[in-house]
Amino acid sequence: MMNKSDKIRILEAYFEKTISKEEMEFLLKHGKVIAPIEWVYTNEDEKKQRENERELISRVFGQSFPKIEWVVS
């Protein structure tokens, strides 16, 4: 669940043209939480998508994520 200040930051980023409408809608729908399971990738496309999501969250909220990759053995 997102709090009011998170929603405000997303809208401000959109109005400042830092993010697109699609990115704004994505963040409002999914929030800024990255669950541990989202560090496990099934293919390169999924890896690229997750990295883009983390980059988007970093741009809007200023959070940084370490370069972690979990490997299923």
d(CA 62, CA 64): 6
pLDDT class for 39, splitting at 50, 70, 90? low
Cβ-contact 39, 69 below 8 angstroms: yes
Mean pLDDT of the chain: 83
Using pLDDT thresholds of 50, 70 and 90, give the confidence band for residue 64.
confident
What average pLDDT does this structure show over 29-50? 79
- pTM assigned to the model: 0.70
Question: Domain coordinates of the chain in residue numbers?
Answer: 4-61
